[in-house]
A and B are shown apart, each in its own frame.
Chain A
Amino acid sequence: MTMKRRFHITLPLICFLTPVLLWLVLLIVLPHVDLLRMSLRAEDDYGNAIWSFSNYMAFFQEPIYWLTFVRTAVYSIMVTVMTFIVAMPVAFYITKVVAPRFQGFLMMLLLMPFWVSELVRVYGWMILLRESGVINHFLTRMGILNQPIEMLYNDVTMVMGLVYTSMLFMAVPLVSVLESLDDSLIEAACDLGANMGTIFFRIVIPHAMPGIVSGSIVVFMLTLGNYLTPNMIGGKNALWFTEQIYNQFIASFNWNQGSAFGFLLLVLSSLVIWAGLKLTRQKLSRVVQ
């Protein structure tokens, strides 16, 4: 009797489950199924729609597509690593060095740029860095530069912009994971003769691993899927894979090709994250907590 009751589908259960299921099916499963279906459709020579792998073939046959793809992946990994390098000392400083009453204030400072949209932040960088921008103005005024130089539209600036955009998403998980690190572990390591480097690599990093991995996943995904920053700061050389998807959908009207690209991007991000988890021996279930 009790067993039977437990599995009885009750009205409250339906009420709670329906939104979740609707959300999952309508907003996640269906679009992806449709994307997959579209990516496998193509036109034959007579303009009829047929099932075909030609969209995927086109990707591998055309160097420009897969080169952009590889470039996007490599840069995304690079941005993730650099974001970590920048965010780790910041997170460590906030959690372990500074007095607790300033922690909230520093976290606020960290959050502040994210109160405005990404577009505004990118424009901010452009105003600073452009040839007729603020930094060039000061450098020429002070006589350091003879004439203004263009600081925008190159890969270094683009990576910097992407790192800036992703900082918070790395810093927050790091702060929370470092907060859970018992200070006495650091002291114990020091007491046992370890120097700063050893403490960092043997104690702090292994402890922070779940946070590092979850932060890296978020930053990697955001960077991989970013459109605005590479396009605006990266300028004339920075073709990002998302831009190619956009171009396929919007400029070339080739939704089937665009869907195939979208799917490949999904596969790529899943693969990289899987590899990252394997490499750091973390479990996804633990990391997403």
Chain B
Amino acid sequence: MKRTLVCLMVLGAFLALVAAPVSAETLELITWEGYAPKVLIDKFMQETGIEVKPTYSTNEEMIAKLRATRGAGFDLAQPSQDRISAVQAKYKIYQPIDYSQVNSDQIIASMLEAVKKNTVVDNESYGIPHVYGTSGLIVNRKFAPDAKDYTDLLNPEYKGRVSYRLKRPTLIGLAFAMGKDPFALYSDPKAYKTLMEDIGQKMIEGKPLVKLYYDNNDAILQALQSEEVHVAMAWDIGGWKMHAVNPDIDFIAPKSGALGWIDTFAIPAKAKNVAGAYKWINFMMRPENAAVFTNAEKYGTASKGALKFVDEAVKANFTRSFTDADIDNIKWYPTVPAGLEGMEGKILDKVKAAQ
């Protein structure tokens, strides 16, 4: 009898340890590097008493992590809008957004509508727009004055001075530069595959030109800064950051169009602090807060009215890189149908393995 009692006590103590209640209210946030600036976390803490705990990640890792726990462990995630619906349909890792809890006056209406439409699964929407940006080319004008499109990544003129990621945006960008519309082929997997294999082959042929396939933003910025790389496919803000250091380097919208992405807020299926998540969303979209974020990180924001708080230098970045025609020409990612990533992954593996 006594023995059983001891066992129960040990078990009880163990459970108590595991399930120990966290003293203060917290918000577990999985997001991109830089999306949760310290100033805003502190301000949010003062306003609401909620402590935000950010985990930095990428689209792929966010999905993998949430998939592993079936949507538990985080209260709020920030996947790109094109990566929500297919994932949601298959793995059910998010919960529908209750738009009545979102202060939609703060959000650019057209962007909100577009995201709502793109994240629909079974008549429910799963995303709220937060940040947008583009990927295109970062070019060192001193060495590559004529580079203007993705095809310059395969241009022998820049041998050994080219860099890009072995990820799907590179395939998409090259497809557009070759005069194709890969987004239109999303609905025709066979044709899409042929196109991608074709591009993969071009990339293999162009492999000797490549300095390195970078994996993280720091690696490419370092290579650009040391002028080891002259033409790279990368995000706009990276180019703008480099421009501030070295005026020769700048982001340019490629002739065939920059690739536009929108990162969203999405609430994981088993989020514990849903109320806190909505509070953080509304807080982040408040124009003055959104501007703090944009000034720090240079990203475009979906917050309406934030523009008047944004630094001139940041605005100048945008006007320098984008003409009105360039803006019209931005290719916004549509929702990725299931199954494409696996096929693209294999092609990219082949490129990496080719000698």
| Chain A residues positioned under 8 Å from B349 (CB to CB) | 64-65, 68, 239, 244, 247
Would you call A254 an interface residue if the criterion is a C-beta within 8 Å of the partner chain's C-beta atoms? yes
Would you call B202 an interface residue if the criterion is a C-beta within 8 Å of the partner chain's C-beta atoms? no
| Chain B residues positioned under 8 Å from A62 (CB to CB) | 346
Would you call B175 an interface residue if the criterion is a C-beta within 8 Å of the partner chain's C-beta atoms? no
Binds A, one of B36-44, B56-64, B266-274: B56-64
Expressed in whole angstroms, the Cα–Cα distance for A248 and B343 within the complex equals 11
Would you call A78 an interface residue if the criterion is a C-beta within 8 Å of the partner chain's C-beta atoms? no
Interface contact A250-B61, CB-CB below 8 Å: yes
| Chain B interface extent, by class | 20 to 34
Q: A11-B3, A132-B226, A250-B64 are in contact. Are A153 and B212 (CB under 8 A)?
A: yes
| Chain A residues positioned under 8 Å from B346 (CB to CB) | 62, 64, 252
A239's contact among B207, B341, B352, by CB below 8 Å, is which?
B352
Would you call A249 an interface residue if the criterion is a C-beta within 8 Å of the partner chain's C-beta atoms? yes
| Chain A residues positioned under 8 Å from B350 (CB to CB) | 64
Interface contact A236-B226, CB-CB below 8 Å: no
Interface contact A231-B215, CB-CB below 8 Å: yes
- Chain B window 330-347, contacts with chain A (Cβ cutoff 8 Å), 1 for yes, 0 for no: 000000000001101110
Interface contact A252-B341, CB-CB below 8 Å: yes
- Chain B window 211-243, contacts with chain A (Cβ cutoff 8 Å), 1 for yes, 0 for no: 111010000000000111000000000000000
Expressed in whole angstroms, the Cα–Cα distance for A67 and B7 within the complex equals 53
Q: A235-B212, A236-B207, A236-B212 are in contact. Are A253 and B64 (CB under 8 A)?
A: yes
Interface contact B6-A11, CB-CB below 8 Å: yes
Would you call A237 an interface residue if the criterion is a C-beta within 8 Å of the partner chain's C-beta atoms? yes
| Chain A residues positioned under 8 Å from B64 (CB to CB) | 249-250, 253
Q: A236-B352, A237-B355 are in contact. Are A253 and B63 (CB under 8 A)?
A: yes
| Chain A residues positioned under 8 Å from B52 (CB to CB) | none
A251's contact among B67, B87, B167, B226, by CB below 8 Å, is which?
B167
Report the nearest A residue to B347, measured CB to CB.
A64
A254's contact among B3, B212, B342, by CB below 8 Å, is which?
B342
Interface contact A251-B227, CB-CB below 8 Å: no
Which secondary structure dominates chain B's binding surface?
helix
Q: A62-B346, A153-B212 are in contact. Are A250 and B60 (CB under 8 A)?
A: yes
Interface contact B226-A131, CB-CB below 8 Å: yes
Q: Which of A132-154 contact B (CB under 8 A)?
A: 132, 150, 152-153
Report the nearest B residue to A62, measured CB to CB.
B346
Q: Which residue, B67, B349, B350, has most C-beta atoms of chain A within 10 A?
A: B349
Would you call A121 an interface residue if the criterion is a C-beta within 8 Å of the partner chain's C-beta atoms? no
Interface size on A, residues (CB 8 A): 32
Interface contact A248-B345, CB-CB below 8 Å: yes
| Chain B residues positioned under 8 Å from A152 (CB to CB) | 212
| Chain B residues positioned under 8 Å from A153 (CB to CB) | 211-212
Q: A249-B64, A253-B64 are in contact. Are A64 and B353 (CB under 8 A)?
A: yes
Expressed in whole angstroms, the Cα–Cα distance for A251 and B59 within the complex equals 9
| Chain A residues positioned under 8 Å from B345 (CB to CB) | 247-248, 251-252, 254
Q: Which of A1-52 contact B (CB under 8 A)?
A: 11, 14-15
Q: A252-B341, A253-B341 are in contact. Are A68 and B353 (CB under 8 A)?
A: yes
B341's contact among A65, A231, A236, A251, by CB below 8 Å, is which?
A251
Expressed in whole angstroms, the Cα–Cα distance for A237 and B352 within the complex equals 6
Nearest chain B CB to A112 CB, angstrom units: 26
Nearest chain A CB to B341 CB, angstrom units: 5
Would you call B73 an interface residue if the criterion is a C-beta within 8 Å of the partner chain's C-beta atoms? no
Expressed in whole angstroms, the Cα–Cα distance for A249 and B67 within the complex equals 11
Interface contact A235-B213, CB-CB below 8 Å: yes
Expressed in whole angstroms, the Cα–Cα distance for A243 and B212 within the complex equals 16
Would you call A130 an interface residue if the criterion is a C-beta within 8 Å of the partner chain's C-beta atoms? yes
Report the nearest A residue to B229, measured CB to CB.
A131
| Chain A residues positioned under 8 Å from B348 (CB to CB) | 247, 251
Q: Which of A54-81 contact B (CB under 8 A)?
A: 62, 64-65, 67-68
Q: A130-B228, A132-B226, A239-B349 are in contact. Are A150 and B160 (CB under 8 A)?
A: yes
Report the nearest B residue to A238, measured CB to CB.
B352
Interface contact B352-A251, CB-CB below 8 Å: no
Interface contact A130-B226, CB-CB below 8 Å: yes
Expressed in whole angstroms, the Cα–Cα distance for A68 and B344 within the complex equals 18
Expressed in whole angstroms, the Cα–Cα distance for A67 and B354 within the complex equals 11
Would you call B210 an interface residue if the criterion is a C-beta within 8 Å of the partner chain's C-beta atoms? yes
B353's contact among A15, A67, A235, A255, by CB below 8 Å, is which?
A67
| Chain B residues positioned under 8 Å from A132 (CB to CB) | 226-228
Report the nearest A residue to B63, measured CB to CB.
A253
Q: Which of A226-267 contact B (CB under 8 A)?
A: 231-232, 235-237, 239, 243-244, 247-255, 257
Expressed in whole angstroms, the Cα–Cα distance for A153 and B213 within the complex equals 10
| Chain A residues positioned under 8 Å from B10 (CB to CB) | 15
| Chain A residues positioned under 8 Å from B87 (CB to CB) | 253
Expressed in whole angstroms, the Cα–Cα distance for A187 and B270 within the complex equals 71
Interface contact B210-A236, CB-CB below 8 Å: yes
| Chain B residues positioned under 8 Å from A239 (CB to CB) | 349, 352-353
Enumerate chain A interface residues (CB-CB to B < 8 A): 11, 14-15, 62, 64-65, 67-68, 130-132, 150, 152-153, 231-232, 235-237, 239, 243-244, 247-255, 257
- Which 8 residue pairs across A and B have the least CB separation, nearest first? A252-B345, A132-B226, A252-B342, A250-B60, A239-B353, A239-B352, A131-B228, A252-B341
Interchain Cβ contacts under 8 Å between A and B, 5 examples: A15-B10, A132-B228, A239-B352, A253-B60, A253-B67
